Amino acid sequence: MGQMKQNEEIEFVDWKKIPYSQAYKQQKELFEKALLNKTEHIPVQNQIIFCEHPHVITIGKHGMFSNLLFPEKTLEEKNVELYQVDRGGDITYHGPGQIVAYPILDLEMLGFGLKEYVHRLEEVIIQTLAAYGIKGERLSGATGVWLDKDESGKARKIAAIGVRCSRYITMHGLALNVNTDLSYFKLINPCGFVDKGVASMQQEAGRVVNMEEVKNSLSVRFRQLLFN
């Protein structure tokens, strides 16, 4: 695999605050274009899209609607949208104060498979959290990044990961709770777990965290862990 120039390797895009439905449509278009390019042996433009969504609950293709703890009428009253989508993982919440990253990547070009990709996404988050003095960890059998994973009753999730991959092209990605209002997670069993909590960087650091700084930190780790 020849070494590509930096600007050909990866493009970072920030969609800012965007409704989930619009982001999904735009992401799907980029994904389909990347798939078409791959079919026609045209190099895929690797992109990582950052954004923030208004309140929304999404359920993965194998997710359980039983993990939605309130009727849709309650969601409507709270201005929370609901979507079932074509990613792995169960149920999760996106909302203000949470950074969502959607990498559209050609894993074959990068030289690793889906399992290694998910491992590297977790590492991007773990290293970013470490820069803020927060110890993120992996939990066996549970994708994402956790805090206090071995302490009974204290394990809590700070970042969720759910991806789709076709012909080595990825979409969907990760969601990191930065200044997220965690009360919205009470509407669901996050990622299907009934005995584990959720966390945010704000909660752990005891202060509001600068979202742009975190995006920059994530970008640095994405470059280091996916493109070197």
Q: Which of 134, 174, 188, 191 is catalytic?
A: 191
Q: How far apart are CA 66 and CA 200, in angstroms?
A: 25
Cα(54)–Cα(97) distance, integer angstroms: 9
The chain-wide mean pLDDT, for the chain, equals 91
CATH numbers and ranges of domains, the chain: 8-226 (3.30.930.10)
What per-residue confidence (pLDDT) applies to 195? Answer: 67
pLDDT of 1 higher than 50: no
- Average of pLDDT values for 100-124? 96
Q: What tokens were used for 187?
A: 């509407």
Cα 14 to Cα 83: distance, rounded to the nearest angstrom: 22
Mean pLDDT of 163-167: 95
Give the model confidence (pLDDT) of 44-77 as tens digits. Answer: 999 999 999 999 999 988 888 888 998 889 999 9
Give how far Cα 20 sits from Cα of 9, 56, 121, Å: 27, 7, 21
Backbone angles phi, psi at 35, to 5 degrees: -60, -45
* Residue 191 is among the residues annotated as catalytic for this protein: yes
The string of pLDDT tens digits covering residues 168-225 is 999 999 999 999 999 999 998 866 666 678 999 999 999 999 999 999 999 999 999 9
Q: Which long-range contacts (CB under 8 A, 24 or more apart) does 71-74 make?
A: 74/187
Three-state SS string over 30-69 comes to HHHHHHHHHHCCCCCCCEEEEEECCCEEEECCCCCHHHEC
- Map residue 28 onto helix, strand or coil: helix
